[in-house]
Structure 1
Amino acid sequence: MSHIFKGLSAFPITPCNAGGALDTDCLQDLIRRLRGAEVDSIGLLGSTGTYAYLDRDTRHQATKAAAAVKGATPLIVGVGAIRTDQAVTLARDAAAAGADGLLLAPVSYTPLTEDEAYAHFIAVAEATDLPLCIYNNPSTTHFTFSHRLLHRLAVHPQIAAVKMPLPAQVTPAEDLARLRDLLPQDFVIGYSGDWGCGETLLAGADAFFTALGGTLPQTFVNLARMAMAGDKDATAALEARLAPLMQLCKDNGSLRLAYALTDRLGLGEAVLPRPLLPMNDDAMTRLDRWLAETSDLAC
């Protein structure tokens, strides 16, 4: 089942009001939008889905609502939690609610040792029959997976993929070559960080996990298809048009930008969970300018 992690995985927000109540209708509309764009999978309750700010009941409701309208599109559900027993419970909830795969980040307060992270992941992987993707996102979790730890986890039969950050010291092609030598042959290697979508897929990554693709699914599907086909010129041309949006993403974070796009595109009235605040007026003006100049990409 590792194939469910391949291709473009788009991560929608989890629309809630100021009190944290889930807007089920809005969420289902977002899922239908992703399904219609033919994304390869839907990444529910990832960082863009503000999983860390939601309680168990809300996460269960969101998974049930998404599963009800996803059609044949695989649904990958984030089950990160600060305690192992909580993450195990969330994994079982997700499986019962209709998830096709799981995504797990090593959420913690006290910094984890490698042995602690390993035991945490094995416990969650063995809690259900669903394949699990490792979420390596040190910018939010403050934990970086060593190559040794990735190898230890990748040989487990339930752990099928890894979501990597964009490499900082080497090119994506070099990073991929190192990981291919280290990990099982059928292990899925994907990346996140939307400005790296084209480069990593052109380099041969198996997957890309997109935050902004949760609100602009057709545009990111088009970008991914160009890159996966090896069309460098078309990929570069589309990335050039997306460059102002990517700069906004770098300046403000993909989560705030995803909420701003949701508002500007009339997709819903979701409120960021406090203490997070919306993008400032200058950033919104830049976004409005980009949307006016590239209206065909707002899809």
Structure 2
Amino acid sequence: MFTGLSAFPLTPMNEQGINERAFVGLVKHLADANVDSIGVLGSTGSYAYLRTEERARIAKLCVENAGSVPVVVGIGALRTRDVLANAESAQQAGARSVLLAPVSYQKLTDDEVYDLYATVSRSLSVPLCVYDNPGTTHFEFSDELHGRIAQLEQVRSIKIPPVGNDLDAARERISRLRALIPTEVTLGISGDPAAATGLNAGCDAWYSVIGGLYPHAALALTRAAQAGDAQQANSLSIAWEPLWALYREYGGSLRVAATIAEITGKVSQPCLPQPLKTLQGNDRKRVEQVIKQLDLAS
């Protein structure tokens, strides 16, 4: 379940609602590519901007169109009651697992975060992936807290933030975590530019934004790392450097991925919930240049 390439598609929408046809098209493309799992309603899926009923609909649509590919559904929300409601709708839709970030307006304590995961774990009949994303939640997991949460019955994976590009430092970080978590709990890397380093350093999975648009390319990198061919995985990542540079310049992957999806016709414009916007003007022209440079038009 929590190994290999987990591809995260956008949830294309405008202020009138979700573009279900475009979303289904993205999901079917991932299913046809035979990714290892499809992750919906993560940060790339704009989960924090959707109502509970919209999230239930997305979970249902994804499962219905994913074929045999397992679906991971994000359930994070401000209140525990809403997390539990999201978890229930995801399970009813047929999700094989759920993804939970400690979302909050007020800064959470370690005990509050542990209690959140403990409460949700008791309610689940499917595995749970811990979503460690301090860039959006502003909560910093300690290794010790990860170790405590990983002992909970339903926890089966930890989606860790980017590890940088220092392979030795990444190995040390992963080794430190593995010493604290059960053997059956996997570690997955997020942050596309760090994927090759994370996988080569021992991560079991890549939770990928770009994999949600270009699954075959992301699978090639993943399979190279899984086969122990670190050099090939690094080479494939280096080839994507113009794209990684856009991530760095524009504050992450969401706006870049959404802009690519609009330009290439995978979704209609606009595709992000207001007040978010895709890149425009000269910034959009830069993305168009990278699309041409990397032959991403198809």
Q: 1:184 to 1:257 in 2, by over 3 A?
A: same
Residue 255 (structure 1) aligns with: 254
Deviates more, 1:157-166 or 1:270-279: 270-279
**Aligned length, in residue pairs:** 294
Residue 11 (structure 1) aligns with: 8
| CA displacement 1:29-52 (0-9 Å, x = unmatched) | 100111112211101000000000
Distance (whole Å) between structure 2 residues aligned to residue 32 and residue 278 of structure 1: 23
Q: 1:23 to 1:235 in 2, by over 3 A?
A: same
Residue 145 (structure 2) aligns with: 149
Superposition misfits of 4+ residues, deviation over 4 angstroms: none
* Aligned with 2:197 (options 196, 199, 221): 199
SS in structure 2 at match of 1:25: helix
> Partner amino acid for 2:10?
I
* Aligned with 2:109 (options 100, 113, 120): 113
User: Does structure 1 residue 53 correspond to structure 2 residue 52?
Assistant: no
User: Does structure 1 residue 268 correspond to structure 2 residue 238?
Assistant: no
Distance (whole Å) between structure 1 residues aligned to residue 281 and residue 231 of structure 2: 34
CA deviation after TM superposition for structure 1 residue 207, in Å = 0.8
CA deviation after TM superposition for structure 1 residue 26, in Å = 1.1
Normalising by structure 2, we get a TM-score of 0.95
Distance (whole Å) between structure 2 residues aligned to residue 93 and residue 232 of structure 1: 40
Distance (whole Å) between structure 2 residues aligned to residue 290 and residue 15 of structure 1: 22
Q: Do the aligned partners of 1:219 and 1:298 also contact (CA within 8 Å) in 2?
A: no
| CA displacement 1:216-271 (0-9 Å, x = unmatched) | 11111111111221223322322222000011012222110111111122111152
Q: Do the aligned partners of 1:166 and 1:172 also contact (CA within 8 Å) in 2?
A: no
> Partner amino acid for 1:274?
Q
CA deviation after TM superposition for structure 1 residue 91, in Å = 0.2
* Aligned with 1:246 (options 224, 236, 244): 244
Deviates more, 1:83-92 or 1:234-243: 234-243
User: Does structure 1 residue 281 correspond to structure 2 residue 281?
Assistant: yes
The answer for unaligned runs of 5 or more in structure 2 is none
Distance (whole Å) between structure 2 residues aligned to residue 33 and residue 126 of structure 1: 34
| CA displacement 1:70-126 (0-9 Å, x = unmatched) | 011110000000000110111001100111100000000111111111111111112
SS in structure 1 at match of 2:277: coil
Q: CA RMSD in A?
A: 1.5
* Aligned with 1:230 (options 211, 216, 228): 228
The answer for unaligned runs of 5 or more in structure 1 is none
Distance (whole Å) between structure 1 residues aligned to residue 235 and residue 90 of structure 2: 39
Distance (whole Å) between structure 1 residues aligned to residue 82 and residue 15 of structure 2: 25
CA deviation after TM superposition for structure 1 residue 146, in Å = 1.1
> Partner amino acid for 1:251?
E
Distance (whole Å) between structure 1 residues aligned to residue 154 and residue 44 of structure 2: 24
SS in structure 2 at match of 1:161: strand
Q: Do the aligned partners of 1:216 and 1:298 also contact (CA within 8 Å) in 2?
A: no
* Aligned with 1:84 (options 80, 84, 87): 80
Normalising by structure 1, we get a TM-score of 0.94
CA deviation after TM superposition for structure 1 residue 298, in Å = 5.3
- Aligned-residue sequence identity (percent) comes to 39
